[in-house]
Structure 1
Amino acid sequence: MVSKTLFNNTETAFRLKSDSELERAYFLFKMISKEPLVRIGTAATKFALNLHLPVEGLIRSTVFDHFCGGVNEEDCLSVVDSLYGAGVSSVLDYSVEGKEEEAQFDATRDMILKLIRFADEKKAMPFSVFKPTGFGRFALWEKKSAGKELTAAEISEWQRIVDRYDIVCKTAHSAGISLLIDGEESWMQTAADDLCEAMMEKYNKETPIVFNTLQCYRWDRLDYLKEQHARAKAKGYKLAYKVVRGAYMEKENDRAEEKGYPTPICESKQATDENFDAVMKYIIGNLDAMSLFIGTHNENSSYLGMELLEAKGIAKTDSRVWFGQLYGMSDHISYNLAAEGYNVAKYIPFGPVKDVMPYLIRRAEENTSVAGQTSRELSLLKKEKERRKL
């Protein structure tokens, strides 16, 4: 029987945090809880970095060290080892965003290949990860998704994206490292889904290596999953998905309104929650053909995932099901799940401080806009501070 009080255990949740790290976390979430401060802080940080003002040390010692593992993969090793000591695996996420040049896409490909080889030598790192726009221009993904005819130059450019995908998937397959491919905006995602499906067909014949992402704030994802299941069954390969709620809701709704098409986003938070749970339930009901990475900070969905596994007699350690959260967030879910014996991984972003700032700003804005998330972090940190005083 799954205990609905499991995530209340703050001693386990914050076992890796020193008193000073606990205080820093409390201070950060206190700041993030104030929307005007987040707006002013992000604007001031961008301004200071663009002017090359000496603020990197301050960023590094506060928000960067809380949400990121380091400036390079070697820098992350102490965090990876520390987490693994608590039963939590790591997904090193090279969180450099918004690049536009071919040389930068090749550099990202080379970094992902390096991370796969890095993970191959480290039991604590069973996954690698990348974003589609890390391998090619957003505008090209968008044009391809819209079904528009590509120019000769764009056809060559697209082939280079396919080649980057293929070498990364091939390397992951050879190493036995699972590869999580992140989801992005809906108007570029169709091309990303199609390419990921092609890689699944090629590399998921026996073991699900390539994972696509299902963003469940999109109301069409369960139907899409069922279509994928039918195709994979017919062609004889396995599916693998990271299931998340999604990170671009306001941008999606604004664009739909601006361009006059129906929003792809669920009509309410409750509808999104129900969609997420239905997708998770469908995959757990078909584990003979699929693997699942449950990417959620939602307690109810985490409890439901545990209950579904128990009801179907699936072992907590079954390699086909993982739970995952972001580093620096929802430790009460991650470490308590790990203590119970479930497969748990933390996404650990890393990269040069300036290059990772877009990611950090998104995290701050997300914590401000997601109702209850920051207040939950604060109340848990406060509870642990009081427990330690006693």
Structure 2
Amino acid sequence: MLDHPDLHPLFQHTPYEELLRDLTVLNICSFPSVASNAEGLLQLQWVREALYRHFSAGPTSEDAWARMLALRSEGVGAILAYGCQVLSSTEESEQQYEENARVMVNSIDEAASFARQQQEFATVKLSALGSASLLGRASQAMRAAAADASMADDAPTVQQLLLLSKQDQAALDTMLTRLRWLAQRAALQGVKLILDAEVSSLRPAYDYVVRRLMQEFNRPGATAHGLTSGAVVYGTYQAYMRNARSCLFADLAQAEQGGYTLGAKLVAGAYMFEEARMLEEAAAASSSPAKRYSPLWPSHSQTVASFNECAQLLLGSVKDGCAEVMLGTHNYESAERAVATMSRLGLSPSESPVHFGQLLGMADELSVALAKKGFKTYKNCPYGNVVTMLPYLARRMQETKHTEQTLQLVQEELYRRTVLQPAEEAAARVSAHNEAVAAMASRAVGGNQEYCQAVSAVLLAVAAGDNLQMDESDAEPLDGGGATVCASAVM
């Protein structure tokens, strides 16, 4: 049902250097060993800078619009997301949390200023507005008060929070005050607010906060004096959790009972590797020899199946007027299933409260395909300085292996420019950007490991500001013969 669009318009103004950077990033992320070594690789400056330029909008929210220019011309919107999250596991800075809240208010205002026919979104992170350790203690208190309930059935209440110290209760109230400020600003400005996911160990506290906000801002008439229609607040559900569907059932029932609309962003999941590592550490620290039950689906295919089941449930709830949905997926099959279900249920692409989302730097072909069919489609555009965004970049390295189509599209564009274009046009582009970089692309379009090594050397030189020159006498073949590299560019 979704055509594979011509993405040439997205690339036509992209310099060779940027295409090579994108190709290098996607190739490196496709290596199996990258997922388990992401944090170590990010210590390399050129890797860090290349990933940052590929996956982030830039240092400020204003940078997102320049980065999104080509995609916006194809009908794809933007979700602004400040990249800060957990500041520290031990140090807590209320002053920094206040500053983060002010930055997020600015992103809401920025989103509102670019609102078009469809409503805009902004994303906030709980662990940027209050410490992760506070959320952890609150979650522990909630589990302790409901010890006979499974994680899927945890229903955090004010009574459970009485187990917290008065200091923690006050800190949690302060976090809620910041979130209410953001939600009120969003409601007034015509923006919907997505509360980004956290690790499962923080889920009870996360659910408590999200439900409190939905009860206040997602009920009929709650935004009578604002510009946002329907639900203002969206929570995030991660399909890699085995209990994702049961959590949605419980939350839909609670929303119906409470008289408010459930705002739900569904994603495959952002913390797979971190969650798995935490489970391994817990198992190693346990004195019990028994194998611990994993709350995660063990395979990518099972996660995709879980996502599809949750999407069907949510779309049915949209049809019944009980929910609004953002489906965050890079999987073409999952998107097509959702599109087919919307057609069967009679949900209009342009009128129903169903949105699709992909991350900046990933699955552009799916974003454009959905937008061309009239579906409300967005790119999640994180921004912030490089240090702030390191955890985000690490997660992108761990999951980019599932975006082979994007890699192929970048390769095809490089091939088109360097091999298929008329000689005069190719020559003009070469002179405008860099002869050495263009020559590198024309010699090794295959995207193999040797090519990554060759392009990496060029990127190092470009980052250092070297003006590369290369001719046949300077080019030396790498082992394997698949690519060449300028000897003077190696550092």
Change (3 A) 1:73 1:13: closer
Q: Please say if 1:286 is aligned against 2:317.
A: yes
Aligned to 1:330: 363
Q: Please say if 1:102 is aligned against 2:135.
A: no
Q: Output one character per residue of 1:28-71: Cα deviation in whole Å (capped at 9) or x when no partner.
A: 212333355787785365376xxxxxx7xx955x3322211111
Change (3 A) 1:249 1:256: same
Matched residues, number: 374
CA deviation after TM superposition for structure 1 residue 243, in Å: 0.2
Contact 2:362–2:403 (CA<8 Å) still a contact in 1?
no
Change (3 A) 1:113 1:232: same
Q: Please say if 1:230 is aligned against 2:227.
A: no
Residue aligned with 2:317, SS: coil
Higher relative contact order (CA 8 A, sep 6+): 1
Distance of 2:178 and 2:341 partners within structure 1: 37
Aligned to 1:197: 211
Q: TM-score, normalised by structure 1?
A: 0.88
CA deviation after TM superposition for structure 1 residue 171, in Å: 1.5
Q: Which moved more, 1:65-74 or 1:326-335?
A: 65-74
Change (3 A) 1:127 1:319: farther
Q: TM-score, normalised by structure 2?
A: 0.71
Change (3 A) 1:265 1:276: same
Distance of 1:248 and 1:310 partners within structure 2: 32
Contact 1:243–1:280 (CA<8 Å) still a contact in 2?
yes
Q: Which moved more, 1:101-110 or 1:350-359?
A: 350-359
Gaps of 5+ in 2: 145-162, 221-229, 284-291, 421-491
Aligned to 1:317: 350
Q: Output one character per residue of 1:276-310: Cα deviation in whole Å (capped at 9) or x when no partner.
A: 11110111111111111010111110111111111
Q: Please say if 1:137 is aligned against 2:131.
A: yes
For 1:270, the aligned partner's letter is S
Q: Which moved more, 1:376-385 or 1:332-341?
A: 376-385
CA deviation after TM superposition for structure 1 residue 268, in Å: 2.9
Contact 1:214–1:244 (CA<8 Å) still a contact in 2?
yes
CA deviation after TM superposition for structure 1 residue 109, in Å: 1.0
1:30 to 14, 19, 27: 27
Residue aligned with 2:356, SS: strand
Aligned to 1:146: 140
Aligned to 1:118: 110
CA deviation after TM superposition for structure 1 residue 94, in Å: 0.8
Q: Output one character per residue of 1:50-108: Cα deviation in whole Å (capped at 9) or x when no partner.
A: xxxxx7xx955x33222111111223331244432221111111102331421111111
For 2:19, the aligned partner's letter is L
Distance of 1:196 and 1:248 partners within structure 2: 19
Residue aligned with 1:353, SS: coil
Gaps of 5+ in 1: 49-54
For residues 214-363 of structure 1, the aligned pairs below 5 Å read: 214-259=237-282, 261-287=292-318, 288-363=321-396
Change (3 A) 1:146 1:39: closer
Q: Output one character per residue of 1:344-365: Cα deviation in whole Å (capped at 9) or x when no partner.
A: 1001111112222232232123
Change (3 A) 1:12 1:293: farther
For 1:121, the aligned partner's letter is S
Change (3 A) 1:15 1:223: farther
Aligned to 1:52: none
Aligned to 2:409: 380
Residue aligned with 1:346, SS: strand
Contact 1:213–1:243 (CA<8 Å) still a contact in 2?
yes
RMSD of equivalent CA atoms: 2.4
Contact 1:10–1:383 (CA<8 Å) still a contact in 2?
no
Q: Output one character per residue of 1:289-334: Cα deviation in whole Å (capped at 9) or x when no partner.
A: 1111010111110111111111122222135011111101111111
Q: Please say if 1:177 is aligned against 2:197.
A: no
Residue aligned with 2:4, SS: helix
Q: Output one character per residue of 1:156-211: Cα deviation in whole Å (capped at 9) or x when no partner.
A: 11111111111111221222210011111111011111110111111001311100
Change (3 A) 1:84 1:225: same
Identity within the alignment, %? 26
2:233 to 203, 210, 235: 210
For 1:94, the aligned partner's letter is Y
Change (3 A) 1:228 1:39: closer
Distance of 1:98 and 1:201 partners within structure 2: 26
